[in-house]
Structures are given as structure tokens and as C-alpha cells.
């Protein structure tokens, strides 16, 4: 059993913790850096920026990803933007405000010191990316442009139309490529990490499978960095790339790394609704659209009229009504629940009533009227001009919506519904981003660190790049300075052999089952179960049902899954089988975590714990009936799960969250 959980938060005032920590951190001299080897698993924003920065510093780096190129990592999908507390708008932003918004946005379940550091570093990230040539949108005068995202009242989001992730990743990839060119990064695309190797209690390497040839090999190093992204696909349907999975994190968990807050999943309010059982993927409509789009549902239940036939006074702009101070820019957890409430009330739109409108009608006219001479032109002309402006801001998102639904978001409101989008939980890390396993670092969406129970929009890209460009390069020396590089075990050490053996055994087991159901079939069933019983709303009863059903499904998987083909060539079913086998175990931990957290906070909504009309907070207008009710006395902590063996209930440890600056309060957006 692990000992005390030490987050290693530096002492001293919040504002100087990071500067002091960097100064006090151990340095490694340039000629010694060359002797250290670091494995970076993942080439998304977190992994690519880390691998490039570590190599620039002089370390020997190997970087792994399962895509055919590092620049196809899931980060490329990010649409709306990246936050930075630059205050270019002069609208009252500051490092402190970004810090405060993020702590409050996470419903007071994130570590204060980490969040403050993130806000500090945010300003450097924007400079770094501009220096790398990222084509952020600019104002007419040349200044970088900003827009707003949910849970804030300032405009601090930098963007490149609806392709911010792609442009940022191209920037990080260009740095990575440079270091590949110099020989200090060795890149392994189409290579999947299947085991973490621990020698004498320290992370010393990984075992991987070449996804094209099936060859299994070991890589030893002085430290291992996991930047392997989020696990939202445990729900099968999500906005995440189809390949996103929990395997790297889960296998590290089974070797002793703590898994923190696995039940903290983000449901994004504006995604294209599910349209059929054949679907394998959902599509996000970026939160940036809520800068101008207004969410509404018909006031009348079961109203099947065309949206244009529903008069103004029969529309419920529910976010503006419920949360007037933030309106359509209410944070994601709150906006998602509000959308669900409209649909549960029988006022949803589209097939099955699982949808609400996201409407640009008013924005188009407003933009048109705001053009030169716009006040005196006809409405038709104003709409034409306004449409051009909206196209310039969000054109590719509207095109995407049109391609999927065959409807024009310019001519009629988009139909949207909440969907799984991001995971705040992840492997536990301390302030240095090191897990409880010495030498194992975790970055980006794969760690739990900064977003508490709800992530604010445009903060994931910020965190991934903060971790990779700025934090890990400063903190990894604290660990490496304690290990001698010439003592690194070679890849034929017994622990590597045993780990390779595990991988081979599992591969043979999959191939020999020859059952009747496809891997996807099991995955889909697990996902539906997770969505129904541990999704946007959870109860003790639903979670207990999930916990009873998952082991049965898992047992059937191991008896009846069909993995065709062989292990020594490209075999997509085999790849998926490994990931789904892990999801079938991880889903259980997620439900257990949700069951044990007997409170609601952020995206974790336990129906038993919500504000009602009788509560003074509702009567005084601070929150709405139906908002989440935290229990700070009993749950103001990180839940850290320790693997205790197969078929044994995992152990739940806690890291208390101590707020020195922002005192937890009722989270109000009204
Ligand atoms: C549709 C969409 C839009 C988004 N838009 C925004 C936005 O506008 N702003 C924002 O801040 N956030 C946004 N997000 C969230 C953000 O994109 C992600 O959180 C972020 O990109 C994650 O980056 P990462 O580097 O941690 O992981 P990823 O980009 O997911 O990269 C993971 C890497 O790990 C590798 N990997 C994983 N497992 C293994 C393994 N076992 N072996 C080898 N390699 C492995 C993969 O190959 C990949 O290279 C969006 C998310 C989605 C789904």
C-alpha cells in the first residue's frame, strides 16, 4: 500500500510558488543532460511540446504515438481556442482572474497552486506559439484577436478560426521535427505502448507493439513521460478521436500509479445530436459558437413547428433566463444540464426530442447592422453582410454542421445536444507532474491536475502546452538529478522480459477466443451502459446497477470476443481489443469513484445532491433549483485510487485540497 500522498506544493505565497520552485529546482549541467534518456509517449500538444523542449535542453528523447504521424494526434481536432491572460482587450483580465475563473469553473476541486501556475504560464504560451508561427486570428490593426469562452466574463481566448488545435499542433510538430532532424528525438509512429516497466520502484521503460509488423520491443530510459490523452471513449460515443483510449494510463495504474478522480468526465453542451445506432463518433460544435449563438427551446412541450414558425415569445432562451450574468456563456457542466432539463421536460427538438437550438439569427442581423452604413440598409442586405461576418468567424464549423446534417446553420438554428467531450480525471501527479511512481511523469489530458470537476473551454490546450513547453522541462531535473544515468537497466532486464511476456500472452489470448461478437459490439454496449448509468446524471441506484453489470459484460468479452487475423501484422481488431479490455476494467473504477463521491460537483452530478426550491441559496437567487450541491466538509479532496490486485476492490486514498486564496463558495453564474 502506498504511503502518504505528497503533492509537493511549494511553500510561500501563491504568486511566488512557481518562481521560487524553479529557482530551487535541481539543475543538470548541459554535458550531463546528454547522458539521460527520456521516453515520451504521446505526440499531441502535451507530448510534442515536451519531447521537443526536452530535446532542445539536451536530453536524449524517444517519442511514441499510435498514429502514422505525430501531427495526427487527437489535439488536431481542437476547434475553438486557447486561453492566455494577456488582457489585450483591456477588459479586466489578469493572471489572477484566469486563476480564479479556473478554480471556480472546476467547482473547487482543483489544486490551487497548480492552477495559479497554469495562469502564470499562459501568457508565455501565446508568445511561444506566435514565435513558432502559429497563425492566430488578428484584429485589423495587427493585434492578436480574442473571443470569449464559457465561465468567464472577459475575452481571453486566442484562436485560429475553428482550427486552433491543428495550428498549435503544427507549431509543436515543427519544433519536434527540428529535433528529430538533429537526431535528439527518435520518433516511433504507429507504435503502441502496452506496458510500463518498473525496476526497483522506478519507471524505467516501456514495452511497445509495432502496429504494422506486430513486433514487440522494449525501450529502457531514465524517465517515462505519459502524454497519452483522455479516456472519454469509455462511453463509446464521444467527440474525441476514435483512437483515444485509457490503455497507457490503465497499465501504469496496474503497476502502481494512482488514478485520480476517474469519474470527472466533461459533457459538452453543444454537439450534433446522435442520429442512429450505427454511429461511432459524435461531432462537437465549438463553444466559441456560444459567443454569438443563442441557446433556446420551445416553451410549449412537444412543439413540432419549424423553428422559424415559433414566435419570439414562445421561445425559452433558457441560459439567459437561468444564468443572466453569464447567459449563453455559462460553463459547460451547467449549460449541459440546462439543455438536458429542457429535453427531460418534453421541450427538446429534433428526432426523439434530444436537442435544443443554437441560433445565429440575431447575431447575423446584429453584425450586418454593425457594418458601415448598416443601420440604413434593408434587412435582407443586413443579413447578407452579417452572414459574411459569421462565416469569417466560424465558417468551417458551419460547413462541418452542414456536411453532417444537410442543414444550414445560417438559415435555421443548429440542433445540438450534450455529449462526452473531455476527461478531467487522470493519473495522479504532484506539483512536478510526477506520479507516485518515481520517474513516471504525466502531462496534458492524461493527468488529473488542473481542471477540478469541470474544465473551462480553451483551457485544455493551455494546460497541455504549459505542461510540455514550460513545466516538465523545469521540473524533470528534480528527479533526474537523483538518478545516475549509467545505472539504467538494459532492455533485457528480467522486468522487461516479464512485461514482454505479458503482452505476448494477452495477444495470444485475444486471438484464441474466436467468439461471436466483435470488439466494437462490446465497446458499444459498455458505452451505452456508462452513458445511461454513469453519464450526465448519476444516482446510487444507477451506479450500483452499473457495478453489477460491468463484470458480467467483461466476463462475456473474454469468452466471446472475436479478434480475427494474426498478431504479427497490422490488425485493427487486435489493437481495439486491448483498448476495450482496459475500458471494461476502467469503466468499473469510474462507476466506483462516482458512487463513493457522495456529493455533486462540476460535471459529476449525483441526482441525490442538488439544490431545490426549498434551499436558501435558491431562494436568495444565487443558484437555480437543479444546480449541483457540493459537500466541502467531506469531499474537498482528490480521490486517488490504488490498484490492489485483479478482482480485489481498489483502495481509495485522498489528497485534501487546501484553499489559501480562493475560499470555496457557492458557485454562482447568476
Ligand atoms: C472536438 C474537440 C475539440 C476541442 N477543442 C478544444 C479547444 O478549442 N480548446 C481547448 O483548450 N481544448 C479543446 N479540446 C480538448 C483538447 O483538444 C484535448 O484535451 C487536448 O488536445 C489533449 O492533448 P494531449 O496532448 O493531452 O493528448 P492527445 O492530443 O489526445 O494526444 C495523445 C497522444 O498519445 C498517444 N498515445 C495514446 N496512447 C498511446 C499508447 N498506448 N501508445 C502510444 N501512444 C499513445 C497518441 O498517439 C497521441 O499522440 C477539444 C477536444 C475535442 C474532442
Residue 1 has pLDDT above 80, yes or no: no
Q: What angle do CA 64, 173, 435 make, to 5 degrees?
A: 45
Question: Residue 47: CB within 6 Å of ligand 1?
Answer: yes
- The answer to whether 625 touches 616, Cβ cutoff 8 Å, is no
Measured CA to CA in angstroms, residue 230 lies from 226, 235, 241, 558 at distances of: 11, 12, 10, 25
Residue with CA nearest ligand 1 atom 31: 44
Question: Residue 268: CB within 6 Å of ligand 1?
Answer: no
Looking at residue 276, what is its pLDDT? 86
Looking at residue 160, what is its pLDDT? 94
Compute the distance between CA of residue 592 and CA of residue 590 in angstroms, rounded to an integer: 5
Please state, for a pLDDT cut of 70, what percent of the chain lies above it: 100
Q: Could you please report the per-residue DSSP string of 371-430?
A: STTGGGS-HHHHHHHHHHHHHHHHHHHHHHHHHHHS--TTTSPEEEEEEEEEE--EE---
Residue 422 banded pLDDT, cuts 50, 70, 90: very high
Residue 138 has pLDDT above 90, yes or no: yes
- The answer to whether 659 touches 112, Cβ cutoff 8 Å, is yes
Question: Residue 229: CB within 6 Å of ligand 1?
Answer: yes
- The answer to whether 106 touches 453, Cβ cutoff 8 Å, is yes
Looking at residue 486, what is its pLDDT? 80
Give residue 536 CA to ligand 1 midpoint distance, Å: 22
Start and end residues for every CATH 3.90.700.10 domain found in the chain:
275-420
Question: Residue 283: CB within 6 Å of ligand 1?
Answer: no
For residue range 293-346, list pLDDT tens digits in order.
999 999 999 999 999 999 999 999 999 999 999 999 999 999 999 999 999 999
Question: Residue 284: CB within 6 Å of ligand 1?
Answer: yes
| Residue to substitute in 40, 47, 98, 456 for testing ligand 1 pocket (most ligand atoms within 8 angstroms of CB) | 47
Looking at residue 277, what is its pLDDT? 86
Model-wide pTM > 0.75 = yes
In this prediction, residues 239-268 reach a mean pLDDT of 98
| Residue to substitute in 39, 44, 79 for testing ligand 1 pocket (most ligand atoms within 8 angstroms of CB) | 44
Compute the distance between CA of residue 550 and CA of residue 398 in angstroms, rounded to an integer: 39
Mean pLDDT of the chain: 97
Question: Residue 51: CB within 6 Å of ligand 1?
Answer: no
Using the atom order of ligand 1, give the atom closest to the CA of residue 159: 8
Question: Residue 75: CB within 6 Å of ligand 1?
Answer: yes
Looking at residue 203, what is its pLDDT? 98
Helices (H), 233-360: 247-254, 318-322, 332-344
Q: 278-303 as b/e, with b when 16 or more CB fall inside 10 Å?
A: eeeebbbbbbbbbbbbbbbbbeeeeb
Compute the distance between CA of residue 443 and CA of residue 47 in angstroms, rounded to an integer: 7
Closest CA to 423 of 593, 168, 217, 225: 593
Residue 161 has pLDDT above 90, yes or no: no
Residue with CA nearest ligand 1 atom 12: 460
Maximum CA pair distance of the chain? 80
In this prediction, residues 571-584 reach a mean pLDDT of 98
SS3 603: coil
Measured CA to CA in angstroms, residue 252 lies from 98, 173, 195, 578 at distances of: 32, 26, 7, 14
Q: What angle do CA 499, 500, 501 make, to 5 degrees?
A: 90
Question: Residue 149: CB within 6 Å of ligand 1?
Answer: no
Return the percent helix, strand and coil in the chain, to nearest 5.
45, 15, 40
Looking at residue 307, what is its pLDDT? 97
Compute the distance between CA of residue 321 and CA of residue 48 in angstroms, rounded to an integer: 43
In this structure, which topology does domain 494-636 adopt according to CATH? Methane Monooxygenase Hydroxylase; Chain G, domain 1 (1.20.58)
Using the atom order of ligand 1, give the atom closest to the CA of residue 444: 26
Question: Residue 188: CB within 6 Å of ligand 1?
Answer: no
Give residue 426 CA to ligand 1 midpoint distance, Å: 13
Using the atom order of ligand 1, give the atom closest to the CA of residue 460: 11
Residue 278 has pLDDT above 90, yes or no: no
Measured CA to CA in angstroms, residue 275 lies from 32, 141, 154, 241, 582 at distances of: 57, 44, 35, 18, 28
Burial class from Cβ neighbours inside 10 Å (0-12, 13-18, 19+) for residue 414 reads buried
Using the atom order of ligand 1, give the atom closest to the CA of residue 287: 8
Higher pLDDT, 206 or 2: 206
Looking at residue 431, what is its pLDDT? 98
Compute the distance between CA of residue 12 and CA of residue 335 in angstroms, rounded to an integer: 37
Give residue 448 CA to ligand 1 midpoint distance, Å: 14
For residue range 493-517, list pLDDT tens digits in order.
999 999 999 999 999 999 999 999 9
Looking at residue 162, what is its pLDDT? 85
Compute the distance between CA of residue 150 and CA of residue 622 in angstroms, rounded to an integer: 18
Give residue 106 CA to ligand 1 midpoint distance, Å: 19
Q: What angle do CA 556, 560, 565 make, to 5 degrees?
A: 140
For residue range 453-469, list pLDDT tens digits in order.
999 999 999 999 999 99
Beta strands 440-442 and 223-226, pairing class: parallel
Looking at residue 2, what is its pLDDT? 72
In this prediction, residues 78-84 reach a mean pLDDT of 95
Residue with CA nearest ligand 1 atom 19: 460
| Residue to substitute in 158, 171, 445 for testing ligand 1 pocket (most ligand atoms within 8 angstroms of CB) | 445
Please state, for a pLDDT cut of 90, what percent of the chain lies above it: 97
| Residue to substitute in 65, 98, 210, 265 for testing ligand 1 pocket (most ligand atoms within 8 angstroms of CB) | 65
For 198, list phi and psi in degrees, rounded to 5.
-115, 130
Give residue 631 CA to ligand 1 midpoint distance, Å: 31
* Sole residue written with cell 525496476: 199
Number of other CB atoms surrounding residue 164 within 10 Å = 26
Closest CA to 208 of 469, 536, 575, 572: 575
- For the record, the C-alpha cell of 654 comes out as 485522498
- For the record, the C-alpha cell of 80 comes out as 475553438
Using the atom order of ligand 1, give the atom closest to the CA of residue 46: 25
Residue with CA nearest ligand 1 atom 44: 65
Start and end residues for every CATH 1.20.58.100 domain found in the chain:
494-636
Question: Residue 45: CB within 6 Å of ligand 1?
Answer: yes
Give residue 18 CA to ligand 1 midpoint distance, Å: 26
Residue 280 banded pLDDT, cuts 50, 70, 90: very high
Compute the distance between CA of residue 206 and CA of residue 184 in angstroms, rounded to an integer: 19
Using the atom order of ligand 1, give the atom closest to the CA of residue 458: 11
Using the atom order of ligand 1, give the atom closest to the CA of residue 445: 26
In this prediction, residues 85-94 reach a mean pLDDT of 96
Yes or no: is domain 275-420 CATH 3.90.700.10? yes
- The answer for residues whose C-beta is within 8 angstroms of residue 177's C-beta and 6 or more apart is none
Compute the distance between CA of residue 196 and CA of residue 202 in angstroms, rounded to an integer: 10
| Residue to substitute in 78, 446, 465, 586 for testing ligand 1 pocket (most ligand atoms within 8 angstroms of CB) | 78
In this prediction, residues 271-278 reach a mean pLDDT of 92
Half-sphere exposure of 277 (CA within 13 A, CB side): 4
CA 636, distance to chain mean position in Å, is 21
Residue 543 banded pLDDT, cuts 50, 70, 90: very high
Amino acid at each position: 500500500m502506498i504511503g502518504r500522498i505528497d503533492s509537493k506544493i511549494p511553500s510561500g505565497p501563491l504568486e511566488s510558488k512557481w518562481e521560487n520552485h524553479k529557482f530551487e529546482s535541481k539543475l543538470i549541467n548541459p554535458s550531463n543532460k546528454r547522458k539521460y534518456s527520456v521516453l515520451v509517449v504521446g505526440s499531441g500538444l502535451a507530448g510534442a511540446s515536451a519531447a521537443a523542449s526536452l530535446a532542445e535542453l539536451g536530453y536524449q528523447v524517444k517519442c511514441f504515438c499510435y498514429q502514422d504521424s505525430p501531427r495526427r494526434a487527437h489535439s488536431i481536432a481542437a476547434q475553438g481556442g486557447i486561453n492566455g491572460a494577456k488582457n489585450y482587450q483591456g477588459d479586466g483580465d489578469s493572471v489572477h482572474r484566469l486563476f480564479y475563473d479556473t478554480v471556480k469553473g472546476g467547482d473547487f476541486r482543483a489544486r490551487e497552486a497548480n492552477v495559479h501556475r497554469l495562469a502564470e504560464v499562459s501568457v508565455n504560451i501565446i508568445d511561444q506559439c506566435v514565435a513558432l508561427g502559429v497563425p492566430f486570428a488578428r484584429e485589423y490593426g495587427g493585434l492578436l484577436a480574442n473571443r470569449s469562452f464559457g465561465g468567464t466574463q472577459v475575452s481571453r481566448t486566442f484562436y485560429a478560426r475553428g482550427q486552433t488545435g491543428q495550428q498549435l499542433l503544427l507549431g509543436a510538430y515543427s519544433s519536434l521535427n527540428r529535433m528529430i532532424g538533429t537526431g535528439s528525438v527518435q520518433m516511433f509512429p504507429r507504435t503502441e505502448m502496452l506496458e510500463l516497466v518498473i525496476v526497483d520502484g522506478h519507471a524505467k521503460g516501456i514495452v511497445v507493439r509495432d502496429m504494422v509488423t506486430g513486433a514487440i520491443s522494449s525501450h529502457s530510459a531514465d524517465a517515462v513521460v505519459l502524454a497519452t490523452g483522455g479516456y472519454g471513449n469509455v462511453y463509446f460515443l464521444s467527440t474525441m478521436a476514435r483512437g483515444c483510449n485509457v490503455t497507457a494510463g490503465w497499465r501504469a495504474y496496474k503497476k502502481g500509479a494512482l488514478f485520480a478522480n476517474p469519474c470527472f468526465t466533461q459533457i459538452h453542451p453543444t454537439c450534433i445530436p446522435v442520429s442512429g445506432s450505427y454511429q461511432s463518433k459524435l461531432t462537437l460544435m465549438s463553444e466559441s459558437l456560444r459567443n454569438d449563438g443563442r441557446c433556446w427551446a420551445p416553451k410549449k412541450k412537444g412543439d413540432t413547428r419549424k423553428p422559424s414558425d415559433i414566435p419570439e415569445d414562445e421561445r425559452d432562451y433558457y441560459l439567459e433566463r437561468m444564468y443572466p450574468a453569464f447567459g449563453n456563456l455559462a460553463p459547460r457542466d451547467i449549460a449541459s444540464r440546462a439543455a438536458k432539463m429542457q429535453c427531460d421536460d418534453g421541450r427538446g427538438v429534433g428526432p426523439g426530442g434530444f436537442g435544443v437550438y443554437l441560433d445565429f439569427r440575431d447575431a447575423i442581423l446584429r453584425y450586418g447592422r454593425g457594418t458601415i452604413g448598416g443601420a440604413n440598409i434593408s434587412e435582407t442586405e443586413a443579413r447578407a453582410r452579417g452572414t459574411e461576418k459569421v462565416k469569417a468567424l466560424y465558417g468551417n464549423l458551419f460547413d462541418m454542421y452542414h456536411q453532417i446534417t444537410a442543414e444550414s446553420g445560417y438559415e435555421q438554428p443548429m440542433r445540438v445536444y450534450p455529449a462526452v467531450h473531455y476527461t478531467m480525471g487522470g493519473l495522479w501527479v504532484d506539483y512536478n507532474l510526477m506520479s507516485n511512481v518515481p520517474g513516471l511523469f504525466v502531462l496534458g489530458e492524461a493527468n488529473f491536475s488542473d481542471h477540478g470537476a469541470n474544465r473551462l473551454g480553451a483551457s485544455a490546450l493551455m494546460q497541455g502546452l504549459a505542461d510540455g513547453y514550460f513545466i516538465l522541462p523545469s521540473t524533470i531535473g528534480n528527479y533526474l538529478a537523483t538518478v545516475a544515468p549509467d545505472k539504467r537497466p538494459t532492455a533485457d532486464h528480467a522486468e522487461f522480459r516479464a512485461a514482454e511476456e505479458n503482452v505476448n500472452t494477452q495477444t495470444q489470448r485475444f486471438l484464441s477466443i474466436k467468439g461471436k461478437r466483435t470488439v466494437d459490439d462490446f465497446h458499444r454496449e459498455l458505452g451505452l451502459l456508462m452513458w445511461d448509468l454513469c453519464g450526465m446524471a448519476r444516482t446510487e441506484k444507477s451506479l450500483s446497477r452499473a457495478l453489477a453489470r460491468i463484470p458480467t459484460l467483461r466476463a462475456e468479452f473474454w469468452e466471446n470476443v472475436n479478434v480475427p487475423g494474426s498478431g504479427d501484422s497490422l490488425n485493427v481488431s487486435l489493437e481495439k481489443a486491448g483498448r476495450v479490455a482496459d475500458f471494461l476494467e476502467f469503466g468499473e473504477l469510474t462507476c466506483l469513484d462516482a458512487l463513493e463521491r457522495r456529493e455533486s460537483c462540476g460535471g459529476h452530478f449525483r441526482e441525490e445532491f442538488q439544490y431545490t426550491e426549498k434551499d436558501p441559496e435558491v431562494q436568495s437567487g444565487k443558484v437555480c433549483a437543479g444546480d449541483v450541491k457540493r459537500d466541502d466538509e467531506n469531499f474537498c479532496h482528490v480521490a486517488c485510487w490504488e490498484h490492489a490486485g485483479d478482482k480485489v476492490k481498489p483502495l481509495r486514498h485522498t489528497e485534501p485540497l487546501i484553499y489559501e486564496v480562493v475560499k470555496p463558495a457557492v458557485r454562482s453564474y447568476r
